[in-house]
Structure 1
Amino acid sequence: MLTSVVVVLANSGPLTRECVACALASDVPVEVILVDNGSADGVPESIERAHAGDDRVRVIYNRANLGFGPAVNRGAAKARGERLLVLNPDCLVAPDTIARMAAHLDRQTAIVGAVVCDDAGHADPASRRYDPLLRRAINTKLGRAGGIDIAGPLPSGAEDVEIVSGAILLMPRAAFERLGGFDETFFLHCEDMDLCRRARDQGYRVVLAGDVRVLHGKGVSSRRRPVFVSWHKHRSMYLWFRRHDPSARHAPMRAAVWAGIWAHFLLKLPGLWMRRRR
């Protein structure tokens, strides 16, 4: 069974070449579809030249930054595989990663995630989380119990969760299409949380493959444009709140959350500008 690996690029840097090489070394049949959101670093072109004789690698040039979700949707529309693996360009999979994740797919499962880890092997809490409802987000900020992160050891196999990390998502293509793909209202960030929520709302399972570890290099593209990325992250947080949090039914609460999110963004601006200058 062919798996279409969709990787979105936006000045994502040289690690992308290793990401592609690792995906192509998978022990299951794959094709790699790179969707370039207007990169100026020359990496998409160099990968296309390097794999000119390999029909497993294709590059789609958007010539502009359409956002993460819209780019994935365009890559999925060109995919030939029965399964889709949405993969960040700074994620490196092992040869057996796709097969081990696919072992957890069934007719009720729309999304399988993996445990994303840093260079030291530490698991990212975003590998599995609860929906970021307002009360949970507040608890997380205050360091109280009942927050977004799931406490306890990671499972040794499959675990039903509310959200898995969008750094790596395996889906049956049919399920992706029934869900309508990523909601293109989300330019960047929270589109994975929205997809997981909509999948569960339609009766699907979202599963973490706790026995699969993937190295995640964490955001080369994000480091290049920290203010731009943070603005879209805050905007997406509010969109998710409006769409999925029952608290958003109350106009005063919506106004308070909107004000709180953008006040948080403004407070972060000085640090973001300093990071950009460095």
Structure 2
Amino acid sequence: MGVVVVTYASEATIEACLFRLLAARDVARVVVIDNASPDGTAAIVERLARRDARLALVRNPDNRGFGAACNQGATAISQPWVAFVNPDAFVERETLSRLVAHATARPGAGLLGVELVGEDGEVDLASRRADPSLREQLASLGRRDALYLGHDPAQVVQPVDAVSGALMLMPLGLFVRLEGFDEGYRLHAEDLDLCRRVRAAGYEVVVANDLRATHVRGVSSRVRPAWVEWHKHRGLWRYFRKFEAADTPAWLVPVLWLGLWGHFAGVVLADRLKRLRA
């Protein structure tokens, strides 16, 4: 299989991430797309690439966004399976090969994820998600509890609406047929969008409940938190326009827009107040 890793200001975790990927079974190629990191990320990858011919680095002159960089990396993959792994996600030696085995044993599985856990071992609820609804999220004042589907212990491979973009695996042919990630998303919601389009094409999105990967989360976003929040909210609005707006009363659309960006302002203000107190 081939693996695509998109980096931005990832020097704290990228070496550990790549060390594990290159040690993983059946990984034939790892392509790192660096979105103009301002730190030493690219230098670390270059050093590792000199030691292992399977590793390649592409340095973008600017930040193209996550989805666009994933698509860029996938063009350098010729293996039948492509995995997208965040630079702050750490796999075990058998994680990806066993995920491929699950996929081949389950006809119709089009996109697969694993259970993600934090460094403290706590399960990331985003590992198993329902399709989001902007209307429902704003009605609940931003609470996302209803979006998280529980772990079904009776199923080794559990169908869900969406998995986390921190680790996704799918057949390269299907990824190409769906034209990859929607590059209109800069950051956030592009994984939800891809999962939805995989299901619309007649395939399953599933989580392998017997496989885990550690996800540190938020390493790159700590550099520019307000910028990240802006793109998260922008991504949610794009997702709403694509999948929910047609079934939303016209009078409600501007109300949702105001609610979304009011939520953004509140999040940014709260973060700045927290930093001032620290």
Q: TM-score range by the shorter chain?
A: over 0.9
Task: Give the deviation of 1:273 after TM superposition.
Answer: 3.0
Match of 2:18 in 1: 20
Match of 1:56 in 2: 54
Match of 2:6 in 1: 8
Q: How does 1:32-181 map to 2 (within 5 A)?
A: 32-106=30-104, 107-134=107-134, 136-138=136-138, 141=141, 147-151=146-150, 153=152, 157-181=156-180
TM-score (norm 2): 0.92
- 2:173 equivalent to 1:208: no
SS of the residue 1:105 aligns to: helix
Deviates more, 1:57-66 or 1:129-138: 129-138
Q: Distance in 2 between matches of 1:122 and 1:76?
A: 31
Task: Give the deviation of 1:100 after TM superposition.
Answer: 1.4
Aligned-partner residue type, residue 137 of structure 1? Q
Q: Distance in 2 between matches of 1:31 and 1:21?
A: 13
Does the CA contact (< 8 Å) of 1:8 and 1:36 recur in 2?
Answer: yes
Q: 1:111 to 1:58 in 2, by over 3 A?
A: same
Q: Distance in 2 between matches of 1:120 and 1:155?
A: 25
Aligned-partner residue type, residue 78 of structure 1? A
Identity of matched residues, %: 37
Aligned-partner residue type, residue 86 of structure 1? F
- 2:222 equivalent to 1:223: yes
Task: Give the deviation of 1:69 after TM superposition.
Answer: 0.1
- 2:244 equivalent to 1:235: no
Q: Distance in 2 between matches of 1:265 and 1:141?
A: 12
- Cα RMSD after superposing both structures: 2.1
Q: Distance in 2 between matches of 1:220 and 1:261?
A: 25
Q: Distance in 1 between matches of 2:95 and 2:55?
A: 19
Q: 1:184 to 1:154 in 2, by over 3 A?
A: farther
Does the CA contact (< 8 Å) of 2:108 and 2:203 recur in 1?
Answer: yes
Match of 1:30 in 2: 28
Does the CA contact (< 8 Å) of 1:242 and 1:254 recur in 2?
Answer: no
Match of 2:198 in 1: 199
Q: 1:99 to 1:25 in 2, by over 3 A?
A: same
Q: 1:175 to 1:144 in 2, by over 3 A?
A: closer
TM-score (norm 1): 0.92
Does the CA contact (< 8 Å) of 1:224 and 1:276 recur in 2?
Answer: no
Q: Distance in 2 between matches of 1:152 and 1:54?
A: 37
Match of 2:253 in 1: 254
Q: Distance in 2 between matches of 1:38 and 1:251?
A: 40
Structure 1 residue runs of 5 or longer lacking an equivalent are: none
SS of the residue 2:103 aligns to: coil
How many residue pairs end up in the alignment?
275
